[in-house]
Amino acid sequence: MSYNNLGEVRLTLSSEYRFDLTNILEGAFFIDAGNVWIVDDEDNKEGSEFKSNFISDIAVGGGIGFRFDFDFFLIRLDLGFKLKDPSLDRGEKWFWESKNNYDDYLENLRSKGLTEQESYRYFPNINLGIGYPF
């Protein structure tokens, strides 16, 4: 499987609510969901195969943004947050759930001197773009 073909099954859902703030400035709230899976698990990538319970593997993100609309082009500035991380254990996937198993995993790594991360944290993602996202 090449870098350009990471999975055969792709799901992407996006929704955005825009509202006027000034003549050239719009505000936006957005939510995105999706994931990529492989059909054949021969690549030995644990957890990446497409199964009947794929719904639990969908990642969710959301955020706020600004749209600077200059008629001939649009500049987009977004601040996004990870809302659901499907790579985490059951009961820890959503941002409001405690991350006890993940913190135990990090403590095990720290005891081996392999990481300096203190705990699971949701870092915001800043995006700058030209044109609407979809």
Q: pLDDT tens-digit profile of 3-20?
A: 555 777 788 999 999 999
Q: pLDDT tens-digit profile of 88-134?
A: 878 888 888 777 777 777 777 777 776 666 666 668 899 999 987 66
Which residue type occupies 43?
A: D
Q: pLDDT tens-digit profile of 35-75?
A: 888 776 665 566 566 666 778 889 999 999 999 998 888 99
Question: Domain map of the chain by residue range?
Answer: 9-130
Q: Annotate 33-75 with three-state secondary structure.
A: EEEEEECCHHHCCCCCECCCCHHHHCEEEEEEEEEEECCCCEE
Alpha carbons 55 and 31: distance in angstroms, whole number: 16
